[in-house]
Structure 1
Amino acid sequence: MLKIKDDIDLNELRKFGFKTGKEWADSGERCLKGAGFEYMHGWWHKFLMDEEDENKIAYISEAYDIPSVQISVRTDFHRDIYVDVAIEGSYHSSDLDVVTETIYELTKAGLLEIKKEMER
């Protein structure tokens, strides 16, 4: 698994477009609002942004609170990166550029390492 190195201050993620879940929720983003999502408020998240409003997250539809593409970093001892992609209707491979470009930039900056699943 990819993870942020232990000696890196997670606030560095801001330079790459990440915000905490609480910041996203406080800005009105519905995917992290409500008591069911509070456990993710301390994690760091980056999303594919809406084409029409770059300040808003792109959701699979207006009917669901599911982001189209999400990159998250847990802030517990794991510090791992996970990616969620939700597909409804059609999408373009360019939608995943946010993932590949972010991983590239984090790697280039020396923030990432590979950690085996069972290690702590």
Structure 2
Amino acid sequence: MNLDKEISKALQQEQNQIDPILAQEKGLFTMLGNVYQGNTRFWVILASISALLITIGFVYSGYRFYIATAVMDQVFWAVWFIAGLLVQIATKLWIFMEMNRQSVLREIAHLAVRLQAK
């Protein structure tokens, strides 16, 4: 029983240390907004515009697939739909990876400042 209390106490202490860190974390939309203000701002804006165009393209391909009567046309538009969807996923993934990179760089800078202060 003593070991259980020690484990519980250690977990509680760890939780008390993590709570202030989690309270300082920004929300998803704030972090996403920061991506558009970083040093890769141009590329993120370009990726967002291309993601919008790709979305329009694969929605159009899905519509054309739906109204196609010939099997070859359905296959053609289905391939374009899937290709557009994959490119859309890759673009959004890159934007979120960029958001994560900026967050990690910001945390490294905060740690460097804390270490220099000591």
Relative to total residues, which structure has the larger helix share, 1 or 2? 2
TM-score by length of 2: 0.29
TM-score by length of 1: 0.29
Which structure has the greater CA radius of gyration?
2
Relative to total residues, which structure has the larger strand share, 1 or 2? 1
